Amino acid sequence: MHLQGIYPPLPTFFSPTEELDLETLQRHVMRLKSTGIAGYVLLGSNGEAVHLTDSERAQVVAAARAAAGPEAQLLVGTGTFSTQATIALCHLAAAAGGDAIVVLPPHYYREQMTIDVLVSHYHVVADASPIPVIIYNMPANTGGLDLDAATVLAIARHPNIIGVKDSSGNVMKLAQIAASARPDFAILAGSAGFLLPALAVGAVGAVAALANIAPEHCCAVQQLFREGQLAPARELQARLIPVNTAITAQYGVPGLKAALELIAGYGGIPRRPLLPLDTARRIQLQEVLVAAGLLRQ
């Protein structure tokens, strides 16, 4: 499997009573289909995977596959607290139509997560998984557990582990991994906020929440970089940073769904305990979208 390009991590959509809204999910998949993206990520942090049952996870992947078609790349989040449970979710993801799995490190017993423990966990998962494995480093959602370059490189020695999505924002770490990993090991930035710097040190794309609402813009940053047009790439990257920050670090999943409501006319509510944006924050978000040129006033 060849990873390269921009992958939006899709939200999971819910009805007003917090039931799965698969119709809106498929509408979103179809809307993104012709924007230049490389594929889709399901059941990640933006997909509220921790709020879903195993049955719901399977339904989400199957619905996305039906809308995306057989050729689309579907990357599916399966990381959880135990190795055994992670393997079970890998098989569930593959059976429902996933092409690769994206695995957060286990972090409940954070102080015990030494390099040996983490390498063993990922390698056992990779041995058992019927589809390729992508490492997912997301310190903000793992109690601060941050996989360093040495750990990623040790995990990456397994032939069924094909890449890493890193959301730490540490571009120097990405450069170290790119310099030492095998040639076919793919590095994906975990945010559009540092897409251009990541590309400059060896990343081949990004899993970017912003690509849900501005897919063409995210793809354009990468295309401009490939063409050596660094000045317009830097200008576009800078314009996207405030809105990227708003829908990730500042407002999170409720902000992403509110942005979709404003731009595309759908988005809906998150599942509790998350709450929708209040009116004041929604207005603030709207102003950010207008300033970025993503929404008309």
270-283, pLDDT tens digit by residue? 999 999 999 999 99
Q: Which residues are catalytic?
A: 165
Query: Over 80: is that where the pLDDT of 297 sits?
Result: no
Q: Are 256 and 274 in contact (CB under 8 A)?
A: no
CATH architecture of the region 5-227:
Alpha-Beta Barrel (3.20)
Q: Report the mean per-residue pLDDT for the chain.
A: 97
Q: What is the pLDDT of residues 151-208, one digit of tens each?
A: 999 999 999 999 999 999 999 999 999 999 999 999 999 999 999 999 999 999 999 9
- Cα 276 to chain center, whole Å? 21
For the chain, helix (H) and strand (E) counts, in that order, are 11, 8
Neighbour count for residue 80 (Cβ, 10 Å): 18
Q: Taking the model in full, what pTM does it have?
A: 0.97
Q: Indicate the length of the chain as a whole number.
A: 297
Average pLDDT over residues 230-243: 97
Is pLDDT above 90 for 240?
Answer: yes
Q: Which of 10, 1, 6 lies closest to 30 in space, CA to CA?
A: 10
pLDDT of 124-150, one tens digit each? 999 999 999 999 999 999 999 999 999
| Residue 55, pLDDT score | 98
Rounded CA-CA distance 295/285 in Å is 11
Contact 57, 237 (CB under 8 A): no
What is the mean predicted confidence (pLDDT) over 215-219? 98
Q: How far, in Å, are 195, 220, 253, 293 from residue 248 at the CA level?
A: 14, 20, 7, 18
Q: List the chain domain ranges.
A: 5-227
SS3 state of residue 133: strand
**pLDDT of 215 over the 90 cut:** yes
- Whether 100 contacts 207, CB under 8 Å: no
Name the β-bridge partners of 73.
39
End-to-end CA distance of the chain: 42
pLDDT for res 137 = 98
What percent of the chain has pLDDT above 90? 99
Residue among 28, 63, 39 at smallest CA distance from 268:
28
Mean pLDDT of 46-59: 98
What percentage of the chain exceeds 70 in pLDDT? 100
